Every structure is written in C-alpha cells, then in structure tokens.
C-alpha cells in the first residue's frame, strides 16, 4: 500500500480498466452531476478519499479499477488545490485480481445512497445495456438484468421505480 496525492497520480496517465469503463461513464454522465447539483459532493468526496484505490499495471499503463470520484478528479482539468493535495491510499493489484463485480457493486452502493435524486430509469437502461448475458450470469446467475433485480439492489420497491419513471426520472429532490 502506498499513500499518494491526487496531484501526483494526476501526473501519470491513468485509465479505467476496459471491462468497467462503461460503469465509469454512467457515473460521470448520470450520477455525479446530480450529486453535485444537490450539494452532496463534499460528503461524497470525503467518502471516496477514505477507501483504497485499486491500481493495476498492464502493458506499461496504469488502470484504476475502482473509485469513480477519484477517476473523475484525475480526468478533470480544473481542480481545486485542496483536492489536488488530498492524500489517498493506493493498492497495487494484478489483472487476475480484478473482477467487474467490485466496480459494479461500488456503483450500486453510490446509486443506493443517492437514488432519491437520480434518474434511476436512465441509469437502469445504461446498466442493462452494459450487462451482457455472461456478466448477468456471473453477477446474478440469471441471463438478464431485470427491473426487479435493479430495484432490489438499490433498495427500492418496483412501484417506486415506475412512479419515478412516470414523473420523468427522479423524485423530488430532498435532503439525504
């Protein structure tokens, strides 16, 4: 394990592992903007800084295999100096130690935490496109990623999902 600042890590070329890049894109496009707009970003970032960052070296490249917020910060051009100096713990893993379920369930945890302010319909649709029959089999021992499975994972009733879909995606923005 190694402690490193975001600034130092930012100087290196860090990528997402190809098998999980779609999940990082879902976070960047559908989740993070809503967290930021709801004024929960500082709390979310604090939570992101305390968990170890898993890095994998392959073909002279460094891949980040978890932590959506840290990856977002690494790819952001204009970042606050306080965030750049933030120290994070990194752990080196090998390719055979990477499992997509780690990053998948990390994203599910974020969705569960902020589901009241997110467009869960759009998130479900993108996740459903990402999850191949093989990944569904690996994660759920099923061939499809159903709405009931998604609702179970993010801890809401199926009726709640459909109500939010009718309202246009997300529920009334309330304090979490």
pLDDT in tens, the chain (176 residues): 799 999 999 998 899 988 899 999 999 999 999 999 999 999 999 999 998 999 999 888 899 999 999 999 999 988 888 899 999 999 999 999 999 999 999 999 999 999 999 999 999 999 999 999 999 999 999 999 999 999 999 999 999 999 998 876 544 443 33
**SS3 for 149?**
helix
Assigned domain for 171 exists: no
Q: Where are the alpha helices (DSSP H) in 65-99?
A: 68-75, 81-84
Assigned domain for 174 exists: no
Q: Among 80, 77, 83, 52, which Cα is nearest to 67's? A: 52
pLDDT recorded at residue 176: 37
Angle at 105 between CA 160 and CA 103, to 5 degrees: 135
Structure-token match 């990053």, residue found: 103
Assigned domain for 8 exists: yes
pLDDT recorded at residue 59: 85
Assigned domain for 173 exists: no
Assigned domain for 92 exists: yes
pLDDT recorded at residue 86: 93
Give CA–CA dist 168/52, Å, rounded: 36
Task: Specify the number of domains making up the chain.
Answer: 1
pLDDT recorded at residue 13: 86
pLDDT recorded at residue 168: 66
Q: Among 138, 73, 33, which Cα is nearest to 130's? A: 138
Give CA–CA dist 112/153, Å, rounded: 8
Assigned domain for 175 exists: no
DSSP labels for 3-45?
EEEHHHHHTS-EEE-GGGHHHHHHIIIIIHHHHHHTT-HHHHH
**Residue 114 lies in domain:** 2-166
Angle between helices 68-75 and 41-50 (to 10 degrees): 110
pLDDT recorded at residue 156: 97
Assigned domain for 141 exists: yes
**SS3 for 167?**
coil
């Amino acid at each position: 394990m190694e402690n490193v600042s975001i600034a130092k890590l930012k100087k290196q070329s860090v990528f997402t592992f190809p098998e999980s890049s779609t999940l990082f894109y879902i976070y960047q496009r559908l989740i993070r903007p809503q967290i930021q707009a709801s004024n929960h970003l500082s709390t979310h970032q604090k939570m992101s800084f305390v968990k170890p960052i898993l890095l994998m070296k392959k073909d002279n490249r460094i891949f980040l295999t978890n932590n959506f917020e840290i990856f977002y910060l690494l790819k952001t051009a204009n970042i606050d100096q306080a965030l750049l100096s933030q120290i994070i713990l990194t752990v080196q893993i090998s390719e055979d130690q990477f499992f997509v379920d780690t990053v998948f369930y990390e994203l599910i945890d974020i969705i569960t935490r902020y589901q009241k302010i997110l467009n869960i319909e759009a998130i479900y649709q993108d996740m459903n496109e990402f999850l191949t029959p093989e990944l569904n089999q690996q994660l759920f021992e099923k061939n499809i990623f159903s709405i009931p499975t998604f609702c179970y994972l993010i801890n809401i009733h199926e009726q709640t999902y459909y109500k939010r879909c009718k309202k246009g995606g997300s529920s009334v923005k309330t304090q979490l």
